[in-house]
Each structure stands twice: as structure tokens, then as C-alpha cells.
Amino acid sequence: IFYSYGSSWSLSFETPCRVQEARGIPAVTMATEQSQVLELFEKPFRGPSGGSISFPTGEGIGTRIGTGARPPPELGYATSLQRGRVFSVFIRAHRRAARSLCEYFMRARNIGELTSLANACRNLVNEQLFIYCLSSVIIRKPELRRVRIPTVVETFPSKFASQEMLQQAGNEINRNPARTEPIVINQEFSGTLIKPEHRLSYWREDYGINSHHWHWHLVFPVEMDIRRDRKGEIFYYMHQQMLARYDMERLSHSLNRVLPLTGFREPIVDGYFSKLTVNNSGRAWGTRQDNTTLKDIRRDDFGLGFISISDLELYYSRLLDAVHQGFIQDRQGNRIPLTDDPPNRGKRGIDILGDAFEADAELSVNYPFYGDLHNFAHVLISFSHDPDFAHREEVGAIGDPATSMRDPTFYRLHKFVDEFFQEYKLQQRPYNNEELGLPGVRVVRIGVLQDGVPNNLRTGWNQREFEAGRGLDFGGSAPIRLRFTHLDHRPFDYHLQIMNTLPAEKDVTVRIFLAPTLDERGNRMSFMDQRLLWTEMDKFVTKLTPGENKLVRSSRDSSITAPPEITFRELEAGREITSGTQAGVEFGQCGCGWPRHMLLPRGMPQGMDFQLFVMLTDHAVDKVEQVIRGRPCTNAVSYCGILDSKFPDARPMGFPFDRRNPAMINGNVIQTAGELAAQFDNMVMEDIKITFVGNQLQRA
Ligand code: CUO
């Protein structure tokens, strides 16, 4: 079959149970399977003797604590991680353990077998590793596609709510075990506003973006023998887009765009104190003071040998050489050209560089030479407070994808990573008229409409509750509900008026971007200055009839967002999909995707100027022929791809803003995005405002 970015007009909603029943699988079987899975995910820290947690002995890796029983050999390295400690995909020894455990789970042919395998090892392996591999296998295996994974916010509430909050809740339950009404605690953030950076705490500590990042790294794992189409490129693009969104948010607070780390020898300006615990025993994440200097590390408790800053500098220098020389060398010394215009749709340079920089030892062209730069950088920063385990301190929050986006330094690190990719991108030729244009198709007008108001979008605070008790060891029958305050907006529609002057129908890809109009100084931006602020809002395919076409597209159908997190309670009640455009379980989400409530930047109370950029391209050029296998996970395609299938847009990710602008078009000098749009009928820009109304946002 042929698949591409979906059009919301052609798909209807169908409940999962109906889909399954139609295939002869009774709903009751599904419910039983789902409840078996929920049982595996509930209270992951409950120990072999009803909740005990093992404390580190100082040896960590290689030390097995728990039942005393010898682990079965088929678990391989899976038991090499201590229980009660952090599991991090940024650490190679942990990835090796994950691969063993995932391979062990992959033998399951159905939910019953998975449950048996899981119950046989759950007291022998690290709790976070256990949940990671269960989640990974449930997403990957076609035989398990009928069940859903509950939100990681409820499985590991200690990664999303402060120890103080959870402790208060526990105390309340202890005081009154018969309590039936929920305990509601309003969220507090980790810092105070005395530090201007903390104006962004609500954004960095949002449960949705952190959950997305956890899922993203679950779906695009490193060294797990899983092949994902354009993985290196999507690593670059998804993180670049998160930075663009962060910068939009910063400008909404009159803060400058984030600055990159300038190397590994300068003090790290921003500290971070997460207030979170890594498990229910109160073991805290490592913290970092402002202006901490990085040091060489040796953390045998994490299976990390000696990692020096010089190693990272060497890797960086070699990678930069590759960019500047225009080729990268494999282990046999072959020179592989780096270009984003490879012949015969070969692997793009950005994809090769992404694999080498992240890095993935199995995908990097030369892992021993180009190293493990990005992962090591996470590791080095996450151990900067205790590089040699002298203080027996735990890894910092930047060492785990579920918590790393809380730390302001995450963005400086990833800005450093992105500057490398941009160094490469700016060496690519600009797009030409043929690539940018679409003769015969004209975008006449675009705009947005929210609650009947044109081109002025409102954002404000909303709240969402989760049951923390699902992931905690304490508490009786009373639900421990946590109420998170988060940014949100009312849904809105894009309205597009398009003229197709061709004599026939035309399939087009509609690309919608948003960027702030003004820079930090209040000036309009050049194309090159604004280039990295353009955030993808939506991308979809539609068929234009000859003549005038009026399209209405809902913000809810965005190609970057996922539907709201699914809770234990909702899954128990049989809810699998609340809304969305994809039908049935097999086209359901896998948790990856930017949270819908964070689609818009905050804007300003007095209104902030933004620009919408809409571009139509020829779908005949964009399309990718492919067969969808397994569970496609087609939500948030632009950030998460389609599982086990090709990325459904042949153009470079970020097109057309991933490259420098053409200097001239049709004899006209191009210096701004507006000047570019003015030269092409298939592009248009529109000024809009985003106004932050605080608590006045009506609940959606
Ligand atoms: Cu997602 Cu560094 O890759 O955090």
C-alpha cells in the first residue's frame, strides 16, 4: 500500500473494540490482556519481599541484589544493573543490559507468554530497565499490538513529581488509610524566579514534554539492533525542533535565545536541583551547582570506565573535520561523501552525521574513531557533581531522557549539538526554484480561527490529574492524585484558500510553520536569523480540485502531536483512544509525540507577534512508496516517524528552512522569509498574535 501523512478528511474514528471484534477477537480477551499488562506496569518498585529496595554497595554494575537466586542465563547482561538505581540509555553498559532483557522479552508470542517471562525476572532486574524493555517490546511486537502502555507519568511518578509532594501524599494516606477522596497537590516547580531562567520552569518541567522525550528515545533506541528509517536525521531534526520551541518560549518571556555550551572546559552556567527521587526509597537524583566545571569521570558503579574531556574534544574535532572536508571515513578508510543531495536517494549526509554524533556503535560509520560524543556529553554533565563516586551520589537528571528536559543545561548541550549539524547544513547548496515552487498552485489566503476569533490565539493555564499511587509502593485503596498545572490553549483551525489553476486534480503536501516575528531587540529578522526558530506546526497531504479550494484543518490533527497520555484508570475502563484521526488500535499512538497542550508557545499577556508560513509542495515529489508493517504508531509522524516503516516525506527534514536562503530569485534579492514567500505562489505568510491569558483560559 501507499502511505503518507494522513489527511484528516479521509479517515473516520472507529473504536478499538469494534475493530477487534470485527476481526473475531472478543473484547473480553482484549480486556484481560490489557489488565495483565497493567499489572506488570503497576508499582514497579515493589520488591521481592513486598517493597524492599536495595541500596548500592559501591560496586553497582555486576552486583546482583535481590532474591539470592542465580539468574537464568538467558537474561544475559540484564541483571548487571543494580535494582533501585537509575537506568540510562545514554550509558553503553545500560544499553547492553537493555538489549539482553528486550531480547528475552521478544521471545514472547502473546501476552500470556510475556507475562510469564516478565514475572520470572521482575525481581532480578533493575525496575526502570524492566519497564523500559516491556514498553519497547510491546511497541515493537506485532503480536502484542492489541495492548497499550499506561503513561510513564503514573508508572514512575517520582520522575515527574517532587519527593516532597509524594511524601505529603504518603503521609496523608498513612494518617488516614480509610480515606476515599483523592489527595490533590498543586504542582510546584524546582526553582524560584530570582533566577530569570526559572521563568521557563513550567515549560521545562512539563510532564508532557518529558514524557515525549522518554518515548522518543524508546522508539529510536541506540544499539538495540532496531533499524529505523533516517534515524540519524530525525535525531537531529526532533531535537532541533525542541530547541526552536524552547527559544520561542524564551522570547515570550523576553529572554534571549539559548546559548550553546562553548566546549567542555568552561563552567556550566546553570545548576539544577530537580527535587525528584529516582525511586520510592527517597534516593535523590544528583544535583549541580551554578558554574560547575566538568571533570573527567570514572563511575564504575555505572559500568563507566574512564571518560575524559579530551576524549570528547577529540571526537568533536574529528566530526568537524568530516563536515569541513565534505567526507567521513569508515573503518576501512573509505571516504564517504557528505551531502544532502546524494545520488539515487542514498543516505543523506545529515543522517550519517546524526548516527555518528549521537552515537550508535552499530550505525556509526566508525565508532572507535568518531566516538560516542552526544551520549558521553550527557554522561559527563550528569556526573559533574560526583565524577568519581566519592560521595556516592546518583546521576543527575540530565542523565535520563524522562527527566533531562527539566535541566536548563539540556538545551545548552543540545544547542551545541545542533550547531554542529547546522555547520553541516550551511554547506549545502540553497534550494532552487524548481524545489521551492509549485507551478499552477497558488495559496491565496491563510489564517487561524480560535473560538471565532481570527488570527489571535489564546493560551493559558490548564490542569491534568494523574494517579501517582500506581507507581508508588505506599498507599491503600485511596487514589493518590497529583494535579499538574500546564500551559494549554483552546483548539483552533487553520483556514486555507488555495487556487489550483491546473486542469486536473493535484495532490499536495501542506507544510505549516510558526515563528516569532521579532528578535530579542524587537527587530524583524533576516531569513538566516529566523531560520532556526521556525517550528513545524503541521504537515499533511490533500487533494486539490481544479479551481478554488477552501481547506479547514484542526490544530488537533497536527503532525507533531500525540493525543493525551493514557492513564491506568482509562485503560481499565476500556479507553484506548480518546480522539484523533487514526482508526483503531493498529493505527494508534505509541506515546511518542509532542504533547498537544504544548503545541503553541505561551505568547505574551499583551499579545506577541508571530508569523505563520504555509508552503504547498508537489506530493508526487514528496511521496515515499512503502509497506506499513507492525504497529505503525502514526501519531506525531513528523517527530516520531512511522514505526518499522519509512519516513513519509522524501524531502530533507525541516525543508525549506533547513538550508540557507537562495541569494536571489528571479533577479530579486532574498533576505527574509517574507521576501522568499513573495516570489512563489505556493507560499504565503500571515501575521498572527498569541496572547497569554493565565487562568482565564476556558477549559477545553
Ligand atoms: Cu534526546 Cu540528548 O538526545 O537528549
* Segment among 144-148, 176-180, 244-248, 680-684 with least mean pLDDT: 176-180
Ligand 1: which atom is nearest the Cα of residue 377? 2
Percentage with pLDDT > 90 across the chain: 73
Q: How far is the CA of 401 from the centre of ligand 1 (A)?
A: 7
Ligand 1: which atom is nearest the Cα of residue 405? 4
What would the grid cell of residue 109 be? Answer: 508470542
For residue 196, cis peptide bond before it (omega within 30 degrees of 0): no
The pLDDT-based confidence of 21 (bands split at 50, 70, 90) is very low
Q: Which helix (H) or strand (E) holds 529?
A: helix 527-530
Q: Is 354 in the pocket of ligand 1 (CB under 6 A)?
A: no
Q: Is 47 in contact with 83 (CB distance < 8 Å)?
A: yes
What pLDDT score was predicted for residue 460? Answer: 97
The pLDDT-based confidence of 586 (bands split at 50, 70, 90) is very low
Q: Is 283 in the pocket of ligand 1 (CB under 6 A)?
A: no
Q: Is 401 in the pocket of ligand 1 (CB under 6 A)?
A: yes
The pLDDT-based confidence of 189 (bands split at 50, 70, 90) is confident
Ligand 1: which atom is nearest the Cα of residue 413? 2
The pLDDT-based confidence of 175 (bands split at 50, 70, 90) is confident
Condensed to tens digits (0 to 9), the pLDDT of residues 233-246 reads 999 999 999 999 99
What pLDDT score was predicted for residue 169? Answer: 81
Catalytic site positions: 358
Testing ligand 1's pocket by substitution, the residue of 216, 236, 239 carrying the most ligand atoms inside 8 A of its CB is 239
Condensed to tens digits (0 to 9), the pLDDT of residues 637-664 reads 899 888 778 899 999 999 999 999 999 9
What pLDDT score was predicted for residue 523? Answer: 98
Q: How far is the CA of 183 from the centre of ligand 1 (A)?
A: 34
Q: Is 374 in the pocket of ligand 1 (CB under 6 A)?
A: yes
Q: Is 328 in contact with 338 (CB distance < 8 Å)?
A: yes
Condensed to tens digits (0 to 9), the pLDDT of residues 587-624 reads 345 678 999 999 999 999 999 999 999 999 999 999 99
Q: Which domains does the chain have, with CATH numbers?
A: 30-43+72-147 (1.20.1370.10), 159-427 (1.10.1280.10), 433-471+487-696 (2.60.40.1520)
Q: How far is the CA of 219 from the centre of ligand 1 (A)?
A: 13
Q: Nearest C-alpha to atom 4 of ligand 1 is from which residue?
A: 401
Angle 568-569-571 from CA coordinates, rounded to 5°: 65
What pLDDT score was predicted for residue 25? Answer: 56
What pLDDT score was predicted for residue 208? Answer: 96
Ligand 1: which atom is nearest the Cα of residue 401? 4
What pLDDT score was predicted for residue 590? Answer: 66
SS3 8: coil
Q: Is 210 in the pocket of ligand 1 (CB under 6 A)?
A: no
Residue bearing the bigger pLDDT, 517 or 48: 517
What pLDDT score was predicted for residue 66? Answer: 45
Q: Report the sign of the C-alpha dihedral through residues 240, 243, 247, 252, in that order.
A: positive
What pLDDT score was predicted for residue 69? Answer: 58
Rounded mean pLDDT, 28-47: 87
What would the grid cell of residue 222 be? Answer: 541506540
Ligand 1: which atom is nearest the Cα of residue 239? 1
The pLDDT-based confidence of 15 (bands split at 50, 70, 90) is very low
What is the pTM (predicted TM-score) of this model?
0.92
Q: Is 404 in the pocket of ligand 1 (CB under 6 A)?
A: yes
Say yes or no to pLDDT of 65 above 60.
no
Q: Is 88 in the pocket of ligand 1 (CB under 6 A)?
A: no
The pLDDT-based confidence of 58 (bands split at 50, 70, 90) is very low
Say yes or no to pLDDT of 325 above 90.
yes
Q: How far is the CA of 548 from the centre of ligand 1 (A)?
A: 44
Q: Is 378 in the pocket of ligand 1 (CB under 6 A)?
A: yes
Give me the DSSP letters along 293-356: PP--EEEGGGTEEEE-HHHHHHHHHHHHHHHHHTEEE-TT-PEEE--SS-GGG---HHHHHHHH
Q: Can you tell me the distance from the alpha carbon of 178 to that of 476, in angstroms, rounded to the nearest whole number? A: 8
How far from 481 is each of 2, 170, 205, 238, 478, CA to CA, in Å? 44, 11, 18, 32, 9
Testing ligand 1's pocket by substitution, the residue of 398, 404, 418 carrying the most ligand atoms inside 8 A of its CB is 404
The pLDDT-based confidence of 92 (bands split at 50, 70, 90) is very high
Angle 688-693-697 from CA coordinates, rounded to 5°: 105
Condensed to tens digits (0 to 9), the pLDDT of residues 131-164 reads 999 999 998 888 888 888 999 999 999 999 998 8
The pLDDT-based confidence of 476 (bands split at 50, 70, 90) is low
SS3 442: strand
Instruction: Please give the mean pLDDT across all residues of the chain.
Output: 88
Q: Is 424 in contact with 337 (CB distance < 8 Å)?
A: no
Give me the DSSP letters along 28-94: HHHHHHHHHHHHHHS-TT--TTSS--PPP-S--TT---SS-PPPPGGGGGGGGSPTTS---TTSHHH
Q: Is 399 in the pocket of ligand 1 (CB under 6 A)?
A: no
Q: How many residues does the chain have?
A: 700
Provide Rg for the chain, Cα atoms.
25
What would the grid cell of residue 152 be? Answer: 510513564
What pLDDT score was predicted for residue 119? Answer: 95
The pLDDT-based confidence of 90 (bands split at 50, 70, 90) is very high
Rounded mean pLDDT, 623-633: 69
Say yes or no to pLDDT of 115 above 70.
yes
Say yes or no to pLDDT of 31 above 70.
yes
CA 146 to chain centre: 23
| Nearest residue to 611 (alpha-carbon basis) of 532, 535, 685, 682 | 685
SS3 434: helix
Condensed to tens digits (0 to 9), the pLDDT of residues 413-462 reads 999 999 999 999 999 999 999 999 999 999 999 999 999 999 999 999 99
Ligand 1: which atom is nearest the Cα of residue 358? 3
